[in-house]
Amino acid sequence: MSLVVYLAAFMLGVASVLVRRRPRTALRDPLTLSTCVAIALAALVFVCAAPATLAAVNELTGVPNFGAPLTYGMLSAYSCAALVLLINWRGGPRELVRRMVLRSVAAYGLLVLAIVALFALADAGTERLTDLDTYYANTPFMREMILLYLLGHSAAMLVMCAVCLKWAREVTGLLRIGLRLILVGTLLDVVGFQLTKYTAVVARWNGHDLDFLSTDVAPPMASLGAVLCSAGFVLPRLLPPTLAQWRGLLDHRRLAPLWHLVRSASTAPKPPTAWWQLPQVRLQWREVSIHDALLALAPYFDHRVRERARDDALAAGRSPHEARLAAEAAMLTDAARRAAAREEPPPADGSYRLHATEVSGTGGLVELARALDRGRPPPTAPHTPPVPDGAGPNTMAGPMAEPEEPHVA
């Protein structure tokens, strides 16, 4: 069981690190800070609840079952952090949010103190690593401690279920998907962890043995529920920047034909080549360098080349926009050739602007790069003259063929 619990803790820890990409910004943003704290506390709960951790804590402190109030206190702190996260996510007037956060912290702070006090009053001298809830279900003070931590956790999870169900009807997109994941994870926690714990404890109160629900069913259900909840919190915050980086990578590759054509004319500083540079950073460097090269090549633009290419594209049935892009691609190719050969710039009007420089963003440059890629001639095979029908490998036809010798009888 320790392996399953540690795996859940590791996944939650990774999620917390991903959310806190910029620690200084996270400390100033209540929503990011509360998200990181909630996920980190969930990871700590699983670390503390693992039997291997419980045994180490008990041995280190010399107190049998000292890991129980530690784990239950962490679980109560996680319940409080989840409520605080929901409060910050919902937003509202700053004073109202602050007041609700303080009330939640105060309530669960008292709950943690009560858990520690009840454990100190109880007689729990026999170490139990996996079945403490059911083993001590009828022990004075331990019984109240177990019931108290379950009730505190149930209250927080039921509030999360109600709030997520309400918000999911009011929002759309990634936020709705995230809320649904939180709702599914919370329901797994309520049904798979809490309900099974309650059932096993109540069964002990009535003289029955359903300990397997508490020891075998509850831990994996709690792990799965916590992972789904963390995914719901993280998804709306991480997926948009991830998609933006993916689009940056695609646009960086799409600009390759244009960059290879004009890179020799660019005077911009060379971009950093470190492998850890994000795709959007690489894209910005390439975009700046291409615009710099286009300015350097502007004096070499030959508008006669552009007009001929535009007329040919229109005659081929292309739309005016496609014809303009094809014409500008042909003119840019000619300008790059002239600049590389150090030819004199042609006499032309310098007021013309490329379509790629008239639109904001990378879209215009990507269209120009595609036009350049379409305008490249395909590779051709060596030309072989056709052989006329009936001509063998050793015969020739045409005016250069040798005349036949006359037949002599």
> pLDDT tens digits for 227-280?
888 788 778 877 888 888 899 999 999 999 999 999 888 877 776 666 667 888
Which conformational region is residue 198 in: left (phi greater than 0), alpha (psi within -120 to 50 degrees), or beta? alpha
The proportion of the chain whose per-residue pLDDT surpasses 90, expressed as a percent, equals 44
pTM: 0.67
Chain centroid offset of residue 226 CA: 19
Which is more confident, 408 or 140? Answer: 140
Cα-Cα-Cα-Cα dihedral sign, residues 46, 52, 58, 61: negative
pLDDT given for residue 51 in this prediction: 87
Q: What percent of the chain has pLDDT over 70?
A: 82
233 and 271 part of one domain: no
Q: What is the pLDDT of residues 312-324, one digit of tens each?
A: 999 999 999 999 9
> What is the C-alpha to C-alpha distance for residues 331 and 302, in angstroms, rounded to an integer?
6
- Other Cβ atoms closer than 10 A to 213: 18
Q: Which residues contact 314 (CB under 8 A, 6 or more apart)?
A: 320, 323
Of the pLDDT bands very low, low, confident and very high (cuts 50, 70, 90), residue 57 is: very high
Domain boundary among 173, 207, 240: 240
User: Within this chain, do residues 67 and 101 fall inside the same structural domain, yes or no?
Assistant: yes
d(CA 212, CA 199): 11
Residues 196, 64: one domain? Answer: yes
Is 317 within a domain?
A: yes
The answer to whether residues 104 and 34 touch, using CB atoms and an 8 Å cutoff, is: no
Query: 408 lies in a domain?
Result: no
pLDDT bin (cut points 50, 70, 90) of residue 20 is: low
d(CA 1, CA 22) in angstroms, rounded, equals 34
Q: Is residue 284 part of a domain?
A: yes
CB 192 within 8 A of CB 218: yes
Cα–Cα distances in angstroms (integers) from residue 266 to residues 254, 263, 296, 408, in the given order: 18, 5, 7, 79
Q: State the Rg of the chain over Cα.
A: 36
Q: Do 221 and 368 have their domain in common?
A: no
50 in a structural domain: yes
pLDDT band, very low/low/confident/very high, at 360 (cuts 50, 70, 90): confident
Q: Indicate whether 209 and 296 sit together in one domain.
A: no
CATH of the domain at 176: 1.20.1070
Question: Does the pLDDT of residue 11 top 70, yes or no?
Answer: no
Q: Which of these, 234, 241, 202, 199, lies nearest to 217 by C-alpha position?
A: 199
In this predicted structure, the answer to whether residue 379 has a pLDDT above a threshold of 50 is no
94 within a domain of the structure (yes/no): yes
Structure token digits, residue 287: 């975009």
Whether 364 and 315 map to the same domain: the answer is yes
Kindly report which listed range (50-64, 130-144, 336-350) carries the lowest average pLDDT score. Answer: 336-350
CA dihedral sign, ordered 325, 331, 337, 342: negative
Does 254 reside within a domain? no
Tell me if 248 is assigned to some domain.
no
Question: What pLDDT does 328 receive?
Answer: 92
Q: Letter for the amino acid at 229?
A: C
**Phi and psi angles of residue 360, each rounded to the nearest 5 degrees, phi first:** -85, 155
Give residue 10's pLDDT: 64
Task: Specify whether 217 is located in the same domain as 283.
Answer: no
Residues 124 and 178 grouped into a single domain: yes
The token duo for 380 is: 């051709």
The span from the CA of 63 to the CA of 57, in Å, is 9
- Asked if 224 and 336 sit in the same domain, the reply is no
- Does residue 219 register a pLDDT over 50? yes
The verdict on 48 and 107 lying in the same domain is: yes
pLDDT of 142-158, one tens digit each? 999 999 999 999 999 99
Nearest to 265 by CA among 299, 311, 302, 239: 299
Distance CA 33, CA 20 (A): 8
Do 155 and 27 share a domain, yes or no?
yes
In the predicted model, is pLDDT for residue 46 greater than 90?
Answer: no
Are 152 and 138 within 8 A, CB to CB? no
Q: What are 169-172's contacts with CB under 8 Å, separation 24+?
A: none
| Distance between CA atoms of residues 183 and 162, nearest Å | 9
Q: Residue 19: its pLDDT value, please? A: 56
Range of the domain at 54: 2-240
Interhelix angle 67-90/30-49, nearest 10 degrees: 160
For residues 43 and 220, give the distance between their C-alpha atoms in angstroms, rounded to a whole number: 14
Tell me the one-letter amino acid at 232.
G
Question: For tokens 């006359």, what's the residue?
Answer: 406
Residue 269: inside a domain, yes or no? Answer: yes
Where is average pLDDT lowest: 58-62, 85-89, 376-380? 376-380
User: What is the number of structural domains in the chain?
Assistant: 2
Question: Cα–Cα distance between 57 and 75 in angstroms, integer?
Answer: 16
Same domain, 78 and 157: yes
User: What's the Cα-to-Cα distance from 323 to each of 71, 370, 397, rounded to whole Å?
Assistant: 69, 13, 45
Mean pLDDT of 282-302: 90
